[in-house]
Amino acid sequence: MIPPLSFITLLSFDYRYAFDAISSYYAIADQIILGLDQSRLTWARQPFEINLDEIQTFIRRIDAAGKIRLVEGDFHAHDHPMENDTQERNALSFQCAPGHLIVQIDADEILLNAAEFVAWLDGAGNTLDGAAIGATWISVFKRFGPQALVIYPASEVVPIATRSPGQFVGARWTNERLIVSPLKLLHYSWGRSPDELKQKLRNWSHARDFDTDAFYQKWEGLTLDNYQQWHNFHPLDGPPLAWSVARAVSRQEGAIMILYAKNSRGLGVFAVNDSRPIPGMRNHPTKKVKLVQTDPLPAFEASCWPRC
């Protein structure tokens, strides 16, 4: 039996990314909690701007079933950004309806196979008791117009769900055992404009965990011509998340081209053909992408260029 699903998404300086995230899970959600710092301060206690009228317009457009609730609070009380990240997630988890599965999807994550995830939950039954549920990131590392470099193969797992409110100990991590679901998340952690990435690196939960300025300079030098030379560049983790890359080969099918190094850990390239403007946004086309089946990347159709 499928448990009721309460989704949590946090809003901050990159709130426009959340529009595509919410759209990707709205149909399977029973409840949606959007978290927002009441003082408009990031986890690093830096001010940010957010257009509540734009958010309310989005909610009115998508929320025919009345699932969405905006919750504001003090989410910057601690000295370390990671502590504030974790505290916000714990606080919002208590806003979820009792007995629901608490699913935390960040603003820059898009569910690629929501229906498959629900079917998996339906069959998992009691095996999920006392466990956290993980998903696999397909991480966009850098965008070049209609092309992007993605981490390949998609091997990073992130916990996204638990039945236990208030149990988060480090962002979305709990001390529960982790069961990896088939859910795939297209993750725009790094795949942003230079200004957006600099803002994120100054304000996210890992802002003090590595030399963000040095890593940004390295990222800035990455191109479609030199990405094969990148080895062991993960800023936080060593093997098996070192993101090294071997020689890339190409495969083309339909609207998508992927350059990838089979059985390597590195960067692949995908490209899409069509674009269309987003109402109210300038110079930020959205892309309808169809990925071919190349293990382990799933076939999917999604609006994959975020709205900011």
Would you state the pLDDT for residue 237?
A: 63
Summarize the confidence of residues 20-31 as an average pLDDT: 97
Q: What is the pLDDT of residues 183-240, one digit of tens each?
A: 999 889 888 999 999 999 998 888 888 888 988 999 999 888 888 777 677 777 644 3
Nearest to 171 by CA among 249, 104, 72, 100: 104
Cα–Cα dist 308/295, whole Å: 29
pLDDT one-digit tens code per residue, 79-121: 999 999 999 999 999 999 999 999 999 999 999 999 999 999 9
Supply the pLDDT for residue 206.
Answer: 85
pLDDT digits (tens, 9 = 90+) for 136-180: 988 888 887 777 788 766 778 999 999 999 999 999 999 999 999
The 10s digit of each residue's pLDDT in 46-57 is 999 999 999 999
Domains of the chain as residue ranges with CATH: 5-136+157-185 (3.90.550), 194-303 (no CATH)
Q: Is the pLDDT of residue 280 over 50?
A: no
Q: Which of 63, 57, 78 is nearest to 15 (CA)?
A: 57
With a cut of 50, say whether residue 252 has pLDDT above it.
no
Decide: 297 and 138 in contact? Cβ < 8 Å: yes
| 249 pLDDT tier (thresholds 50, 70, 90) | very low
In this prediction, residue 167 carries a pLDDT of 96
